[in-house]
Amino acid sequence: MSDFPSLLGGLFGAPEVDAVFTDTARLQAMLDVEAALARAQVRCAVIPPAALGAIEAAGRADLYAVPALGQATLLAGNPAIPLVKALTAQVRHTDADAARWVHWGATSQDIIDTGAVLQLREAVGLVQERLHVLCTALAVLADAERDTGLPGRTLLQQAVPVTFGLKAAGWLDALHRSQRRLQALYADTLVLQFGGAAGTLASLQARGLDVAQALGDELQLPVPALPWHTARDRVAELGSAFALLTGTLGKIATDIVLLMQSEVAEAFEPAGEGRGGSSAMPHKRNPVGCVAAIAAATRVPGLLSTLFVAMPQPHERAAGQWHAEWETVPEIVRLCAGSLAQVTVVVQGLQLDRARMRDHLDSHGGLLYAEAVAVTLAETLGKAAAHALVEQAARQALAQSRHLREVLQELPDVSAQLSSTQLAALFAPDSWRGMADTWINRVLAQR
């Protein structure tokens, strides 16, 4: 990607994560691997100590012209080949003897993959920090709104009462799982790639494992059991972790978009100058942050599929499948980070119309409490009979535009079991919260 922000970058990205994946950052990560390799080989007495200074001094991305390397990549097929040539030339300019030890024993994929792991490790850390901020905001919201009732909705229809605190706790619980997935990446996914031409490190002979261990130490990366040039489950796993987080953020955004509908109007994104307006309709308050998050959740699964399609790579080096990962993985991470930034702003500034939520609990003549009545009557009438009785009463209430409680009071089978006081209690907003508080407490206890 370009080192400069794009027209849409602010909508679908996050500046600090975007910066991790610029062309310059990619070059610097590869150069960092080359410098660390030289240090590791000096430690293992594979290359002379005198070569190290010149190699390290040449390991600055600003010494190299990205356009020229890009043009050379077009011919070479990967960016490491021209970069190693340019690095060798830069070292030779300072120390001709040191130049012969550049990239010693490594292959292009070692440098590209391990450089990518360095970039991804930084990006994972940034996303973890920002995800913690969102989780903290949702924990506050879940606790504060545990008594705020609103209609639960199934198949987009009003179902039974829930609380907004429970809804927020559900979002938070899913994000907790993403936190654990991201943390798990450090142990077995964000690992060193160092195998030489075909994974044997034969060029280093008996010193191969020693150099690999020293290189892992230098870069603070775990050393896997063996090189993983064409075993790409790690890449798919990392992409999946970010895709799952992006999907969860999209679910949060979808809920809020639906709550913002004019006919619902129970929750709103934060307002601000220039935020959510329309070029044609002055009255509009559009859910721009949520829309961006939903767009990311729509795009990422297609990108993730590329990583899974690329998994069956042939023999010891891929013929196109590996190459398909290079832009795909950063794009998944960038879209996820952008969605996270958008949803965090929305949640931190979320505005609730609690009065409208309460009104909606009774807006359909008490039909949301039909299940509560049916379950109570089932204790004496049996489940099937109670369900049929309340279902018939609900249809009558709708047909006559009456409150369900009034219709039920007139039914002998109901009045024989429930007094008017008992029946009225079943239609109280707080009467049918079930385990909502318990679930909220369990989620908050995971923090």
Q: Tens digit of pLDDT for each residue in 266-293?
A: 999 997 665 554 444 445 578 899 999 9
Catalytic-residue membership of 363: no
Beta strands at 149-154 and 157-163: parallel, antiparallel or unpaired: antiparallel
At residue 159 the predicted structure's pLDDT band, cuts being 50, 70 and 90, is confident
Residues 6+ apart with CB under 8 A from 261: none
Q: Residue 284's pLDDT is what?
A: 52
Exactly one of 2, 278, 305, 419 is catalytic; name it.
278
Catalytic-residue membership of 60: no
Task: Check whether 434 has a pLDDT greater than 90.
Answer: no
Q: Residue 267's pLDDT is what?
A: 97
Q: Residue 21's pLDDT is what?
A: 97
How far apart CA 223 and CA 195 sit, in angstroms, is 11
Q: What percent of the chain has pLDDT over 90?
A: 85
Task: Check whether 180 has a pLDDT greater than 50.
Answer: yes
Q: Report the chain's terminal Cα–Cα distance, integer Å.
A: 36
Task: Check whether 327 has a pLDDT greater than 90.
Answer: yes
Q: Tens digit of pLDDT for each residue in 367-414?
A: 988 888 999 999 999 999 999 999 999 999 999 999 999 999 999 999
Q: Tens digit of pLDDT for each residue in 354-377?
A: 999 999 998 888 898 888 899 999
Q: Residue 279's pLDDT is what?
A: 44
Task: Check whether 337 has a pLDDT greater than 60.
Answer: yes
Output the six-digit token pair for 131.
Answer: 């995800």
Task: Check whether 6 has a pLDDT greater than 80.
Answer: no
More confident: 224 or 425: 224
Q: Tens digit of pLDDT for each residue in 293-309?
A: 999 999 999 999 999 99
How far apart CA 172 and CA 144 sit, in angstroms, is 14
At residue 429 the predicted structure's pLDDT band, cuts being 50, 70 and 90, is confident
Q: Average pLDDT, stretch 171-194?
A: 98
Exactly one of 177, 275, 317, 358 is catalytic; name it.
317
Place of tokens 């004019």: 262
